[in-house]
Amino acid sequence: MENIIKILLAEDNPADVSMIREMLEQGDFELSCAECLSETLQQTDKAPYDLILLNPDLPDSQGCDTFCRLHEHARHIPVVILSKSEDIELALKTIRKGAQDFLVMGKTDGDILSRAIHYAIERHSARLLYSEDASRTKNEFLASMSHEIRTPISGIIGMTEMMLDTDTEKKQREDLEIIKNSAMSLLTIINDILDFSKIEADRMELLCEDFDFASLMDIIIRSFIVQSKAKGVDLRLNIMPDVPRHLHGDPHRLRQILNNLISNALKFTEKGEVVLEIGKLTQADSSVTLLFSVRDTGIGIPENRLPDLFQSFCQIPNSCSKACSGTGLGLAISKKLVEMMGGNIWAESREGQGSIFYFVSQFEAVTKDEAESPDKTEHTDRNPGKIPLLSVLLAEDEIVNQKFISYFLEREGHSVFVASDGKEVLSALNISKFDLILMDVNMPGMGGLEATKTIRNAEQSHNSHHIPIIALTAYAMNGDRERFIEAGMDDYVSKPVSRETLKAVIASVMNSHERISEPSPVISGKKVLNREDLLRRCGGDQKIIERCYTIFAADIGNHKKQFEIAIEDKNIEAVRQHGHRLKGASANIGAETCNIFAAKIEEAAMERDLKQIRMLYFRLEKELTNVQSLLEQEHQYD
């Protein structure tokens, strides 16, 4: 009984069923029967079939529509049409729609039918393999293009935000806002195309977690406040009292759906209001079904176009300007997401009077104790509080991204050292200790994933402290997050990098990791300021010590400035001279850690290694600051 071909016959005529059984009884076939299309659809859900023999004229469906409905429901099963009539037009239509063959009952015998079945299965298998290869190629292309397009967009948005952060004239600010909004619109289009690709490949997934529902709704509404005020449109949120505050579901996809609906409502509303309202439909045990509605007083939609709203690439013609156009994918994506969340979506509208978009979605209610559990991470708690100033290693090969990400971090008071690839990251870690690494995934030479794995392996081998690593990535395809986490990264930020998102993710990661002060291997056992040694060398003369400290402290700023100018100008000889001078000065006052790094900078300059010089100066600058702070705290000089 090996290699049995399981066939489902959709046929309502008992005589034809008997005839087909006789045709197939000599072959390696197992035949099951259904008398109508609805029964056929049910059967395909219950058992695996290798092929379907379909009479297109069944009691509950006739003609090409019969095949189309079956094919839409069970695309994975090849279909051979067994028609009562020699209908050429029907044959052409069904073959074009995806049927593997078209046979006429009166002109088909057992041999013909058997060959048709085997050929149909072979062709279908070949098409599936080709389709899988094509899908894989398309996904690889989209991932690559996403990275290549997101990287320059990240630079445009980041540099624009940097300029908006400075004092600019009103006209310049308006122009910069236009640039930023245009870049964000392009990013939305890219995201829609990627999501649509996932839907087509049936690879869209939900990532469920506990979250604060009310806070999430507030965040969503606040993100549109500026846009609504600019248009003079009231934007309101109304959550019914019986809606649970703490839920379990996918807050990111829920936000995507609501962002799309609210964005559309504001886009097509010139006056009046846009209202987001949420109510509870049902609750059984922990399962909660919520009804969402987004109502606007905009231009409305013609009634005859409502059935097309949620089709891919659907754009309803209207009097709105081209500024209101888009990909036509947003609602199609929202429909798929809502269905994945156990609900459905629909719209009501009157042209000229506004529209209401409804959708129903299912969640799990989270009890108060569960919500407050320290093991639970809520969606709105990614930035639970102010974090201390950090020493950050930024691994990024794009110069523009280096510039604006460093700017954002330094504005927050963090110190930043930049590495251009994975090897520079490892070299920097050998010289200095960092509180956090921001790691670009795609860098030349050693990439971010390989560098992260190397760091984690070293930590495990030496039983050393886990340094948090956040991925910076322009990748946005399915499975990317899993790859990053598997490599040892703690979280990731998708490019273009948003300042607020970056702050939130850093806060989330750092608050979940204990900062442990570990001496760098380069300075282990050395003191920032060895006062005892200086006291011994000065014969216990306090006045000489205070004089030495005063002179050194007054010159710290000048040391830093000279180093920075020389490094910026790539003047290696000047760097060597400054290193030699500081090596002697720091030794004189017992600034042991400064002395070590000044000496190493002098050695690196003699080898003309500018990358090593930059890494060492990053640490030297911190040590000089430590010395200055220590002197100030001990009030050793005026």
Task: Look at residue 540 and tell me whether its pLDDT is greater than 90.
Answer: no
- 296, 354 Cβ separation under 8 angstroms: yes
Confidence of residue 638 (pLDDT cuts 50, 70, 90): very low
Percentage of residues of the chain with pLDDT beyond 90: 24
What is the model's pTM? 0.51
Summarize the confidence of residues 14-22 as an average pLDDT.
92
Amino acid identity of residue 203, one-letter, is R
Residue 348, SS3 per DSSP:
strand
Which DSSP state fits 202? T
Task: Look at residue 248 and tell me whether its pLDDT is greater than 90.
Answer: yes
Tell me which residue of 124, 120, 116 sits closest to 20, measured CA to CA.
116
> Taking CA 528 as the corner, what is the angle to CA 522 and CA 533, rounded to the nearest 5 degrees?
110
Which DSSP state fits 307? G
Q: Give the span between the Cα atoms of 545 and 538, in whole angstroms.
A: 7
**Which pLDDT belongs to residue 205?**
74
Q: Report the mean per-residue pLDDT for the chain.
A: 82
Tell me which residue of 438, 427, 351, 432 sits closest to 402, measured CA to CA.
438
* 464-480 per-position pLDDT tens digit: 888 999 988 866 555 66
Confidence of residue 453 (pLDDT cuts 50, 70, 90): very high
Q: For residue 471, what are the contacts with CB-CB under 8 A and spacing of at least 6?
A: 439, 440, 441, 448, 484, 489, 491, 492, 493
- 39, 58 Cβ separation under 8 angstroms: no
Q: Give the span between the Cα atoms of 626 and 526, in whole angstroms.
A: 13
> Residue 185 has which token pair?
């619109």
Amino acid identity of residue 153, one-letter, is I
**Interior/surface letters 312-334, b for 16+ CB within 10 angstroms, e for the rest:** eeeebeeeeeeeeebbebbbbbb
Q: Give the span between the Cα atoms of 442 and 438, in whole angstroms.
A: 12
Task: Look at residue 2 and tell me whether its pLDDT is greater than 70.
Answer: no
DSSP per residue over 603-631, as a string? HHHHTT-HHHHHHHHHHHHHHHHHHHHHH
Confidence of residue 346 (pLDDT cuts 50, 70, 90): very high
* 278-298 per-position pLDDT tens digit: 999 998 888 999 999 999 999
Task: Look at residue 304 and tell me whether its pLDDT is greater than 80.
Answer: no
> Strand 354-365 and strand 246-249: pairing?
antiparallel
Return the half-sphere exposure (C-beta side, CA atoms, 13 A cut-off) of residue 174.
4
Total number of residues shown for the chain: 638
> Count of CB atoms within 10 A of residue 300's CB?
18
**Which pLDDT belongs to residue 328?**
63
Task: Look at residue 369 and tell me whether its pLDDT is greater than 70.
Answer: no
Percentage of residues of the chain with pLDDT beyond 70: 86
**Interior/surface letters 587-607, b for 16+ CB within 10 angstroms, e for the rest:** eebbbbbbbbbbbbbbebbee
Q: Give the span between the Cα atoms of 393 and 418, in whole angstroms.
A: 6
Amino acid identity of residue 530, one-letter, is N
Task: Look at residue 137 and tell me whether its pLDDT is greater than 90.
Answer: no
Confidence of residue 368 (pLDDT cuts 50, 70, 90): low
* 309-327 per-position pLDDT tens digit: 777 655 554 544 444 455 5
Task: Look at residue 484 and tell me whether its pLDDT is greater than 80.
Answer: yes
Confidence of residue 132 (pLDDT cuts 50, 70, 90): low
* 36-55 per-position pLDDT tens digit: 999 999 999 888 899 999 99
* Burial (CB count within 10 angstroms: exposed 0-12, middle 13-18, buried 19+), residue 626: middle
Q: For residue 48, what are the contacts with CB-CB under 8 A and spacing of at least 6?
A: 6
- 391, 432 Cβ separation under 8 angstroms: yes
Task: Look at residue 129 and tell me whether its pLDDT is greater than 90.
Answer: no
Range picked from 347-351, 585-589, 618-622 for highest mean pLDDT: 347-351
> Count of CB atoms within 10 A of residue 492's CB?
20
Task: Look at residue 520 and tell me whether its pLDDT is greater than 90.
Answer: no
**Which pLDDT belongs to residue 140?**
67
Confidence of residue 382 (pLDDT cuts 50, 70, 90): very low
- Greatest Cα pair distance, the chain, in angstroms, is 119
Cis peptide before 496 (omega within 30 of 0): yes
Cis peptide before 388 (omega within 30 of 0): no
- 429, 518 Cβ separation under 8 angstroms: no
Confidence of residue 621 (pLDDT cuts 50, 70, 90): confident
Which DSSP state fits 58? B
Least confident of 337-351, 432-446, 578-592: 578-592
Stated as kind and residue range, the H or E segment containing 560 is helix 542-568
Confidence of residue 635 (pLDDT cuts 50, 70, 90): low
* 387-434 per-position pLDDT tens digit: 778 889 999 888 888 888 888 888 888 888 888 899 989 988 888 788
> Count of CB atoms within 10 A of residue 140's CB?
11
> Count of CB atoms within 10 A of residue 274's CB?
26
**Which pLDDT belongs to residue 371?**
56
- 474, 494 Cβ separation under 8 angstroms: yes
Summarize the confidence of residues 70-94 as an average pLDDT.
90
Separation of first and last alpha carbons in the chain: 97
Confidence of residue 104 (pLDDT cuts 50, 70, 90): very high
Confidence of residue 514 (pLDDT cuts 50, 70, 90): low
